[in-house]
């Protein structure tokens, strides 16, 4: 069934209070839920109440203390006839957490019990109006064997505990009304790192990070990140925590990154556990970002939740923006901005230009899990960031203050958010609302003309058609620009121009000579720009732009422009030589520029990704993209050999710490190794083996092993074996071992993946492990797009095998196959063939079915 946004109606009942008793067991858990229900006076009167279920059967049903016969099952749902306006329903269900391989609802992970209810997992625990606009206060009593589940956790505060023979019990109460998707329960043998935080109004909050015994030493960074998040949200958004307790639990079997359940966040271990020996700098950043993200949801998501799932970006887009701003403030702001743009371009742009394109506020879905996308999350964040850019920080804050104040305690809509920003920040967002309803990445062409003393900027926008949206209206696009004086290398100040028509011209006076255009600075709008700048202008900006993002962008364009031309075969030999020389000149300047820190230098040294290059072509030939990209790396590696080695030697002297300078040194070291791998593999092997052997941290060790994994040698075999033996039993590090091999530059990687599939450590039951092998593989174009179609077949096989076990994770592998329209015809046919093979499978989950049918178009 297709659910449509326009069909929203309020629920016929309110459920002010819920009381649940859990008798916990891995094999069997008994759930007794008591719902206080009252007619919703704001909704149409109905004779029945529909309680959602998913795979449940009714064991007992009572209404107002009497056995109830007036009910029927409608599919998975329980429909009860209710004569009056106020009733108490008591529903008994029994579930088997150990048999729950979907990891939705209540499930077992390593002998512990935990829950994941967003979006529609609560209905796998008990019958309930499982929709985000039904808010209730929850009182929960849970009991179970004390030896097996010594720790019993739930949302809110613990109000009572007790023992009964082998069993013990705990009672929890959450005073804040919440929708069922924010419910959480955890029971297991856990230990905590504990700390506290005192809020701005003096509330002392107990903080715990719960992990399995043995992982405690790896929780310091998570705890520090949590305290920094709490402080930052007070300072930046005026948001204070609202309970006396905040618990985080790390679980190793988890479909996503983490979950913001009220007072009891549940995390993938990947976003909790870190120490220098086992976690990379990237892992540290990921933890800080996700801890922040989930914590920030306490206001943007929990205190104000979503009216329906079409509004998902209300909480996710806003919370992603909040976590991005937090990470910017904690580390290098420009580098964080570049990383976020890279994710947007690498994941969201392809989504927006493919068969699964949808607006940040979708209009319809069949399975909501398929809409936890880069569009809803990351483009959603960009859209709110544009409002912030147009309003300025201070007025934006007035807007968010108004939003939090106006809608606290409500299940709100995206429209409520926009209206609050409009009223609070004093912006007119009438036309801007199109960003919520129109899918597709706008394309802006910029042309700068100069005559007399005037520079004239002509901007045109085009929003491409997307499935179900053939024609689009022009949207307001805020572009930060600067015009550089060629001679002095300076500009007279950044300006914000808002392009809100299909075409517009902006004039700038007082330029005796044609200036150099720097546009979409800080990536002020999530669009693509075509500015057809001469290469010399890009070289100029790559060296001189004072906006780090624009500098990065100039380097990307310089390299990307050349690579796209080379792949398209429209490059003469002389042109190639000239372009390569310009790139080498720009890159050479970057390597020695003393005004740059190494973290930023590393960004400027990074080639555009294969997927981003493919995105810039109407129809891509993945093999050619890969070849040209490697050729450029090899050319630069040779041309700048001495500069690279000097940089490596300097960086190698930096002692390990988590300081930005030390992280920067590690980043440039591995980048140098990658250039060496393309230009002088023997030297690269020698350097990488040395870096591997002497590493005192995972960033260096993984970087070295990444390079070694791509080059056939005794060192490759030896260090891969060493890595496995060294970290055997540490699941998160063994995930890296799988990933490195699946995404390597080695020509036989497909064979390696097939062999790893049979490795005793591989399992389809653990999403991290599945992703570590197959997402890494599907995200590596030169393997996934193997000319014989083997990569497509492997991913299709995986989807078919995983779908009955974990449909949510299986469906996430469909989008790579869905890109067929943008790939050269021979491969496109093979990709379609695999999609059709999946579609023809006898029993497909709703998740996978929806993604496959949409992908076939
Ligand atoms: N709300 C969570 C987060 O962004 C993600 C949960 C997604 N769960 C799901 N089943 N799709 O932080
Ligand atoms: Zn979120």
Q: Using one digit for the tens of pLDDT, what is the confidence trace for 575-592?
A: 999 999 999 999 999 999
Ligand sitting nearest the alpha carbon of 115:
1
Q: Is the CB of 368 under 6 A from ligand 1?
A: no
CA neighbor of 319 nearest in space, from 350, 338, 291: 291
DSSP for 695-709, written as a single string? -SSHHHHHHHHHHHH
Cα–Cα distance measured from residue 311 to residue 188, given in angstroms and rounded to the nearest whole number: 34
Closest CA to ligand 1's atom 12: 259
Ligand index nearest the alpha carbon of residue 261: 1
Q: What is the mean pLDDT of residues 480-499?
A: 97
Q: Are 334 and 600 in contact (CB under 8 A)?
A: yes
Q: How far apart are CA 389 and CA 321, in angstroms?
A: 12
Q: Best substitution site from 103, 251, 259, 376 to test ligand 1's pocket, by max atoms within 8 Å of Cβ?
A: 259
Q: Is the CB of 259 under 6 A from ligand 1?
A: yes
CA distances from 305 to 242, 298, 409, 512 (A): 15, 9, 8, 55
CA nearest 819: which of 661, 614, 633? 614
Give the number of the ligand closest to the Cα of residue 119.
1
Q: What distance in angstroms lies between residue 555's CA and the mean position of ligand 2's atoms?
A: 32
Tokens of 507: 């004039």
Mean of pLDDT over the chain: 98
Is the Cβ atom of 316 under 6 angstroms away from ligand 1?
Answer: yes
Residue 543 to residue 48: CA distance in whole angstroms: 69
What is the average pLDDT across 440-457?
98
CA nearest neighbour of 227 among 193, 256, 252, 182: 193
Question: Looking at ligand 1, which residue's alpha carbon is closest to its atom 8?
Answer: 118
Binding site membership of 323 for ligand 1 (Cβ less than 6 Å): no
The pLDDT tens digits of the residues spanning 812-842 come to 999 999 999 999 999 999 999 999 999 999 9
For residue 667, give the nearest of 694, 640, 681, 648 by alpha carbon.
648
Tokens (6 digits) for 362: 């979708």
Q: What percent of the chain has pLDDT over 70?
A: 100
Give the ipTM of the model, two decimals please.
Answer: 0.98
Sheet order of strands, 258-259 included = 191-198, 204-211, 245-251, 264-268, 258-259
Kindly report the number of other CB atoms within 10 A of residue 543's CB atom: 17
- Of all protein residues, the one whose alpha carbon is nearest to atom 1 of ligand 1 is 259
Instruction: Give residue-wise pLDDT tens across range 132-146.
Output: 999 999 999 999 999
Q: Which residues contact 838 (CB under 8 A, 6 or more apart)?
A: 796, 799, 800, 814, 844, 848, 852
Which residue, chain included where needed, has tokens 């009304």? 177
Phi/psi at 188 (nearest 5 deg)? 175, -175
Model-level pTM greater than 0.90?
A: yes
Distance, CA of 675 to CA of 588 (rounded, Å): 13
Kindly identify the ligand whose nearest atom is closest to the C-alpha of 808. Answer: 1
CA 308 to centroid of ligand 1, rounded, Å: 15
| Ligand 1 nearest-atom number relative to CA 372 | 11
What distance in angstroms lies between residue 116's CA and the mean position of ligand 2's atoms?
Answer: 13
The ligand that comes nearest to the alpha carbon of residue 322 is: 2
Q: How far is the CA of 256 from the centre of ligand 1 (A)?
A: 6
Give dist(CA 626, CA 628) in Å, integer. Answer: 6
Q: How far is the CA of 331 from the centre of ligand 2 (A)?
A: 21
Under a CB-based contact definition with an 8 Å cutoff, are residues 540 and 553 in contact? no
Please say if the pLDDT value at position 510 is more than 90: yes
Residue with tokens 């959480």: 184
Among candidate residues 518, 480, 609, the one with its CA nearest the CA of residue 556: 609
Tell me the pLDDT band of 466, cut-offs 50, 70 and 90: very high
Kindly provide the b/e burial profile for residues 294-316, where b requires at least 16 CB atoms within 10 angstroms of the residue's own CB: bbbbbbbbbbbbbbbbbbbbbbb
In short, whether 553's Cβ falls inside 6 Å of ligand 1 is: no
Q: What is the C-alpha separation between 543 and 586, in angstroms, rounded?
A: 7
Assess whether the C-beta atom of 294 lies below 6 angstroms from ligand 1: yes
Q: So what's the pLDDT on residue 663?
A: 98
By annotation, the residues acting in catalysis are 294
Select from 103, 115, 118 the residue to mutate for testing ligand 1; criterion: most ligand atoms less than 8 Å from CB: 118
Q: Using the predicted structure, report yes or no on whether residue 615 has a pLDDT greater than 90.
A: yes
Count the helix, strand and coil residues of the chain and give each as a percent rounded to the nearest 5.
45, 20, 30
Counting ligands in written order, the one closest to the CA of 291 is 1
C-beta 184 within 6 A of ligand 1: no
- CA 375 to ligand 2 centroid distance, Å: 13
State CA 560 to chain mean position distance. 25
Distance 259 CA to ligand 1 centre (A): 6
Ligand 1 atom nearest to CA at 258: 12
Mutate to test the pocket of ligand 1, among 256, 272, 808 (most ligand atoms within 8 A of CB): 256
From atom 5 of ligand 1, which residue's Cα is the shortest distance away? 259
Nearest CA residue ID for atom 11, ligand 1? 369
Q: Is 66 left (phi over 0), alpha (psi -120 to 50) or beta?
A: beta
- Residue with CA at minimum distance from ligand 1 atom 2: 259
Ligand 1 atom nearest 377 alpha carbon: 4
- Separation of 297 CA from ligand 2 center, angstroms? 7
847 lines ligand 1 (CB under 6 A): no
Cα-to-centroid distance, 663 and ligand 1 (Å): 30
Q: Which helix (H) or strand (E) holds 477?
A: strand 477-484
H helical segments located in 454-572: 535-544, 548-567
Sign of torsion over alpha carbons 537, 540, 543, 544: negative
Question: Is residue 796 lining ligand 1, measured as CB closer than 6 Å?
Answer: no
* Closest-CA residue to 245 (of 174, 345, 148): 174
Integer Cα distance of 134 and 111 in angstroms: 32
Is the CB of 290 within 6 Å of ligand 1? no
**Residue 532, pLDDT above cutoff 90:** no
Best of 301, 313, 367, 372 for a ligand 1 pocket test (most atoms within 8 Å of beta carbon): 372
Arithmetic mean of pLDDT, 707-717: 98
**814 in contact with ligand 1, CB cutoff 6 A:** no
Q: Could you tell me which residues are beta bridge partners of residue 154?
A: 185
Question: Is 260 near ligand 1, meaning CB less than 6 Å away?
Answer: yes
Could you tell me the distance, in angstroms and rounded to a whole number, from the CA of residue 316 to the centre of ligand 1? 9
CA 266 to ligand 2 center in whole angstroms: 12
Omega of the bond leading into 153 within 30 degrees of 0 (cis): no
CA-CA distance, 433 to 193, in Å (whole number)?
44
Average the pLDDT over 844-856 and give the result: 98
pLDDT score for 28 = 98
What ranges in 238-332 are assigned the alpha helix state H?
Answer: 281-296, 312-330
Q: Is the CB of 367 under 6 A from ligand 1?
A: no
**From atom 3 of ligand 1, which residue's Cα is the shortest distance away?**
259
Query: Distance between CA atoms of 226 and 209, rounded to whole angstroms?
Result: 10
Cα 840 to averaged position of ligand 1 atoms, centre (Å): 29
Q: Would you say the CB of residue 119 lies under 6 angstroms from ligand 1? A: yes
Q: Is 371 in the pocket of ligand 1 (CB under 6 A)?
A: no
The finding on whether 811 has its CB within 6 A of some atom of ligand 1 is no
Give the number of the atom of ligand 1 that is nearest the alpha carbon of residue 290.
12
Round to whole Å and give the CA distance between 855 and 820: 9
How far separated are the first and last CA of the chain, in Å rounded?
17
Check if 314 has its Cβ closer than 6 Å to any atom of ligand 1: no
Helical segments of 242-373, H only? 281-296, 312-330, 333-343, 349-352
């Amino acid at each position: 069934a297709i659910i449509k946004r326009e069909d929203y109606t309020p629920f016929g009942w309110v459920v002010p209070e819920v009381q649940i008793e859990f008798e916990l067991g891995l094999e069997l858990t008994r759930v007794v839920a008591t719902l206080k229900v009252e007619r919703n006076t704001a909704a149409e009167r109905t004779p029945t109440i529909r309680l959602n279920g998913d795979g449940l059967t009714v064991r007992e049903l009572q209404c107002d203390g009497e056995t109830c016969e007036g009910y029927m099952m409608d599919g998975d749902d329980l429909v009860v006839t209710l004569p009056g306006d106020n009733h108490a329903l008591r529903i008994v269900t029994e579930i088997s957490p150990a048999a729950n391989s979907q990891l939705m609802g209540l499930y077992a992970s390593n002998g512990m019990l935990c829950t994941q209810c967003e979006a529609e997992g609560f209905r796998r625990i008990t019958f309930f109006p499982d929709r985000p606009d039904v808010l209730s206060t929850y009182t929960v009593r849970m009991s179970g064997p004390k030896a097996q589940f010594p720790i019993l956790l739930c949302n809110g505060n613990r109000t009572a505990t007790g023992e009964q023979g082998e069993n013990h019990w705990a009672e929890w109460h959450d005073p804040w009304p919440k929708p069922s998707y924010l419910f959480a329960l955890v029971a297991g043998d856990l230990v905590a790192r504990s700390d506290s935080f005192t809020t701005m109004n003096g509330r002392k909050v107990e903080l715990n990070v719960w992990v399995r015994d043995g992982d405690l030493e790896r929780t310091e960074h998570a705890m520090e990140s949590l305290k920094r998040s709490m402080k930052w949200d007070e300072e930046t958004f005026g948001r204070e925590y609202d309970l006396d307790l905040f618990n985080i639990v790390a679980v190793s079997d988890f479909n996503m990154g983490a979950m913001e359940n009220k007072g009891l966040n549940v995390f993938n271990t990947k976003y909790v556990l870190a120490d220098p020996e086992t976690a990379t700098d990237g892992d540290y950043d990921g933890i800080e970002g996700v801890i922040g993200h989930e914590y920030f949801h306490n206001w943007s998501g929990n205190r104000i939740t979503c009216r329906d799932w079409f509004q998902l970006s209300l909480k996710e887009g806003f919370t992603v923006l909040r976590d991005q701003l937090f990470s910017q403030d904690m580390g290098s702001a420009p580098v964080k901005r570049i990383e976020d743009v890279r994710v947007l371009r690498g994941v969201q742009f392809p989504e927006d230009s493919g068969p699964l394109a949808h607006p940040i506020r979708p209009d319809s879905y069949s399975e909501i899990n398929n809409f936890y996308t880069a569009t809803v999350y990351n483009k959603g964040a960009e859209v709110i960031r544009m409002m912030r850019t147009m309003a300025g920080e201070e007025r934006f804050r007035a807007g968010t203050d108004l939003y939090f104040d106006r809608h606290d305690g409500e299940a709100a809509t995206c429209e409520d958010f926009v209206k609050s920003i409009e009223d609070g920040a004093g912006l007119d967002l009438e036309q801007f609302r199109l960003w919520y309803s129109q899918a597709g990445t706008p394309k802006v062409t910029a042309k700068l003309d100069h005559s007399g003393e005037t520079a004239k900027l002509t901007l045109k926008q085009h929003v491409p058609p997307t499935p179900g949206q053939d024609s689009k209206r022009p949207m307001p696009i805020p572009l930060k620009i600067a015009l550089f004086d060629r001679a002095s290398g300076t500009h007279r100040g950044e300006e914000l121009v808002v392009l809100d028509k299909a075409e517009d011209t902006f004039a700038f006076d007082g330029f005796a000579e044609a200036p150099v255009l720097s546009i979409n600075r800080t990536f002020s709008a999530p669009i693509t720009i075509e500015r057809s700048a001469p290469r010399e202008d890009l070289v100029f900006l790559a060296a001189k732009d004072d906006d780090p993002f624009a500098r990065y962008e100039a380097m990307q364009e310089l390299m990307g422009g050349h690579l796209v031309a080379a792949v398209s075969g429209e490059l003469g030999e002389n042109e190639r030589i000239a372009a390569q020389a310009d790139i080498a000149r720009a890159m050479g300047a970057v390597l020695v520029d003393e005004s740059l820190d190494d973290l930023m230098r590393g960004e400027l040294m990074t080639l555009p990704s294969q997927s981003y290059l493919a995105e810039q072509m109407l129809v891509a030939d993945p093999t050619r993209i890969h070849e040209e990209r490697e050729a450029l790396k090899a050319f630069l590696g040779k041309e700048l050999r001495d500069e690279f080695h000097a940089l490596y030697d300097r960086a190698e002297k930096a002692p390990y710490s988590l300081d930005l300078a030390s992280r920067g040194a590690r980043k440039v070291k591995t980048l140098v190794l990658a250039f060496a791998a393309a230009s002088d593999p023997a030297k690269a092997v020698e350097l990488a083996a040395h870096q591997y052997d002497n590493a005192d941290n995972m960033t260096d060790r993984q970087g070295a092993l990444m390079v070694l994994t791509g080059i056939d040698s005794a060192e490759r075999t030896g260090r891969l074996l060493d890595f496995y033996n060294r970290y055997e039993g540490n699941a998160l590090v063994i995930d890296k071992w799988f990933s490195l091999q699946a995404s390597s530059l080695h020509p036989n990687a497909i064979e390696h993946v097939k062999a790893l599939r049979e490795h005793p450590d591989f399992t389809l039951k653990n999403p991290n492990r599945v992703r570590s092998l197959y997402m890494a593989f599907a995200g590596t174009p030169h393997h996934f797009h193997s000319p014989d179609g083997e990569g497509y077949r492997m991913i299709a096989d995986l989807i078919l095998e995983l779908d009955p076990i974990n449909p949510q994770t299986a469906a996430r592998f469909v989008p790579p196959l869905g890109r067929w329209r943008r790939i050269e015809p021979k491969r496109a046919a093979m990709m379609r063939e695999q999609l059709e093979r999946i579609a023809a499978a006898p029993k497909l989950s709703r998740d996978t079915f929806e993604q496959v049918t949409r992908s076939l178009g």
